[in-house]
Structure 1
Amino acid sequence: MNRPGVALVQYLTEMAEEVHPVDLGERVRAGSRRVRRRRRVALVATVAAAVALASGVGWAGRPSPNGLSDRPAAPAPATIPAGLYYLDTTVDSARVLLLDGAGQAREVKKVIAPECGVTLSPDRRQVAWVEVDVRIGTSGPLMVAHAGQKDARKVLDDVRCTGGDNPVWLPDSARLLIARSSAAQRRLVEASSGAVSDTPFAAVRDYVCWSPNGQYVAYRENSQVVVARAGDGTVVHRIVFGDESVSVRGVSDDGGRAVTSAGPSVIRYGAPQLDYGSHQVDTVTGEDVPLPAEIAPAEEADAQVQPAPGNHVLVRIPGSPAAALYLLDAAGRILDRRAEPETLKQAALIGQ
């Protein structure tokens, strides 16, 4: 009969013979190898996902294996506004005309000469102008009247009206950007009270244009086209344009396209006609944005281009025999077209 102590010693001896020394360094290295393997698997999965995404981009516009196509989406439907406003200028007066959806034009305001810089407020309710004969002077009282009424009131004296210094309505239809002969910088004036205040664009001495949604402002600075935030004047785009005789006449809702003139202002009846743009430029790349070949006139200056709400653009071709008005989307696709009465061929489009 074995004693208990002897049995315990024998058991411990057998167990020791089966145990091997533990190499902690090797255990750590093995764990590290497992972690690296997991990382490589994760990296391969990430690369595979990137390749799959790149392959999807590479297939854009081509049929996919499931028979579907990644072609650009069709343009969203849009139409030319039913009411369009024109300015018809003669030696004796300037008339603001409304072209309705039925193709009929009627007078909404007549301003008797001398007048300069007649401009319609964005809400189409007020008309402003400077009472001056530009053949003998460059400044005079700023006048404002309600569209459809005979009232006219003086808002402020000594307001300039020379090309890019013309009064410009702000998107709120309550204030105008003005320049004065007695001041070096531009100011804002309240149409209702004549109160004057500061503006971030005080130093701009050329045309200043707001986008239809009021978010951006565009102007020329020396040989550059500048796009800035309307609220504080922070510049977001700046491109070299080169021709200092060209000025900015509009900017799209996203600030990505500016409308410029084809050259210096045209003079009629001793005063500058309402200036318009005829050319588009990408304010990010500086590249030209051409009109569709279907509607582009032989002479670029024969087109009148205006930014329209929704990042669209309204193009007027007065010499077009088929249709004079076209609405384009940001990609240059024609969304709508409309004929224009012969009686408006000599008038300028000033509002939508």
Structure 2
Amino acid sequence: MNQDRLRLDLADLADEVNPVDLRDRALRTSRRLGIQRAIATSAAAVVMLGAATGTAFALMPRDDGQAPLPGDSPSITVTPSPTEPSPIESSPTPEHSRSAEAPPSNPGVSDAVLSGIRFYLGFTDKDAVIHAVRGTADQVATRVSLDTEVCVRNTITVSPDGKRVAWVQDSADSGMTGVLMAGTVGKQGATRLLDGVDCLGSNPLVWRGSDLLMVSRGAVSVLYDVAAKKRVDGDPGQETLRCWSADGRWLAAVSDGKPYVADGTQLHQYAYTPPKGEAIKWDGWRARGVSMDGRYVSVGWIGTDPSRQDGSFTVVDVTTSKVIELPVSGEVRSVQFAADGRVLVRQATRVVVLDAGFQKIGEVAEPRDVQQLTLLTYAP
């Protein structure tokens, strides 16, 4: 696998700008208000989450000299290649050095089956390390320094398009809240966005698309536009255990104890009964991902990797409440719905790739260095 290509592609991901149609966002808000009125009059009442979104700009490291970070703040650091400038660190991390026994690259398979970049999260004693992997080529993209461990470890996450990294920096006076921080994957610098953000619980940081981030401040949910660096006004709603599809259209949540999936015009309530033997070990199950058409959710346990999607083990059709039989054998570590419609089923040493109808397209062997790490997201 050509690692130069990986470096260039990741740089392109960081520099792309995706304009957002504000009229479309206003229409979505209007549709949301309509479905809220409809649901309020039905027997199974569900309160919809409504939020207008802000204008998307490419998030760059702060260089205006305003509100500098404290000297002990975690920051994104990247070591460039010694031969040419690169947003990806070319040398391996000390605790995850590449092994000669790692599965060999197979361009004929990995490029065709999973041509985008997978982002994995690992930790050293001093840093949170984000790996960028294409096929079986693994390189370090970004490091975030750890101050105290609780908040950063529990919240660091990458946006669905692979451009932005966000986390909660621990506060000196509390282990429960901190400062919302954000930066660009593969670039230096970080921006201080919002104080008093919770870093524990079942939903510390949740992406709604690639620009908006839902955070919790006490009992209040806040939607923050990371690209525009401002809070988005709107009713946060009363839903719990929320997650969105990769494009931010479909919301999976729970209201009055009833799980559902909805956009601005459609609502699907569904039921799921987890395996009895496993269920007694946990505090319940939850949706951890939503398909691009809103028809399917990936299901996992509450409390596992709260800011990330890793940890789901099955898929439910929300229109029928039936479990989908995945074409894999062995334990499933996570199921993720990608923005291009593909479904990534992660197992012990491989990622099995399915189409939107859950037919197998192929599979990619994971590099040995990342097999025990958290799969944050896949950017097509």
* TM-score range normalised by the length of the shorter chain: 0.5 to 0.7
Shift of 1:223: 4.3
Contact kept? 2:289, 2:336, Cα under 8 Å: yes
1:305 and 2:335 are equivalent in the alignment = yes
Distance 2:127 2:317 in 1: 37
Partner of 1:88: 122
Shift of 1:154: 0.8
Return closer, same or farther for 1:328/1:236 CA change in 2, 3 Å cut-off: same
* Residue-by-residue CA offset, 1:104-133 (whole Å, 9 max, x unaligned): 211111112231311112232211000128
Q: Which runs of 5+ in 1 are unaligned?
A: 1-77
Shift of 1:342: 0.9
- SS, match of residue 343 in structure 1: helix
Distance 1:272 1:169 in 2: 9
AA at the equivalent of 1:304: S
* Residue-by-residue CA offset, 1:139-174 (whole Å, 9 max, x unaligned): 100001111122012100011122432222221x33
Return closer, same or farther for 1:132/1:290 CA change in 2, 3 Å cut-off: farther
Distance 1:199 1:235 in 2: 20
Partner of 1:225: 259
AA at the equivalent of 2:288: R
Q: Which runs of 5+ in 2 are unaligned?
A: 1-111, 275-282
Distance 2:223 2:179 in 1: 15
Partner of 2:166: 128
Distance 2:291 2:181 in 1: 29
Partner of 1:147: 185
Contact kept? 1:130, 1:141, Cα under 8 Å: yes
- Pairing 1:269-284 to 2, within 5 Å after superposition: 275-284=310-319
Shift of 1:272: 8.2
1:287 and 2:322 are equivalent in the alignment = yes
The one of 127, 138, 153 equivalent to 1:105 is 138
Shift of 1:222: 5.3
1:248 and 2:281 are equivalent in the alignment = no
Contact kept? 1:186, 1:199, Cα under 8 Å: no
Shift of 1:214: 3.2
Return closer, same or farther for 1:281/1:139 CA change in 2, 3 Å cut-off: same
Residue correspondences, number:
254
Return closer, same or farther for 1:219/1:288 CA change in 2, 3 Å cut-off: same
Contact kept? 1:224, 1:242, Cα under 8 Å: no
- Pairing 1:134-283 to 2, within 5 Å after superposition: 137-171=175-209, 173-181=210-218, 184-192=219-227, 194-199=229-234, 201-206=236-241, 208-221=242-255, 223-229=257-263, 232=264, 236-242=267-273, 245-261=284-300, 263-266=301-304, 275-283=310-318
1:348 and 2:374 are equivalent in the alignment = yes
Partner of 1:47: none
Shift of 1:246: 0.7
Return closer, same or farther for 1:213/1:189 CA change in 2, 3 Å cut-off: closer
Q: Sequence identity, in percent? A: 28
AA at the equivalent of 2:214: L
Q: Which has the larger radius of gyration?
A: 1
Distance 2:166 2:206 in 1: 9
> Which of 137-146 and 234-243 deviates more?
234-243
TM (norm. structure 2) is 0.60
Distance 2:235 2:313 in 1: 27
Return closer, same or farther for 1:274/1:251 CA change in 2, 3 Å cut-off: closer
Return closer, same or farther for 1:277/1:193 CA change in 2, 3 Å cut-off: same
Larger relative contact order, structure 1 or 2 (CA cutoff 8 Å, min sep 6): 2
Distance 2:204 2:325 in 1: 28
TM (norm. structure 1) is 0.65
Distance 1:201 1:313 in 2: 29
Shift of 1:276: 3.0
- SS, match of residue 240 in structure 1: coil
AA at the equivalent of 1:188: L
Provide the alpha-carbon RMSD of the alignment.
Answer: 2.7
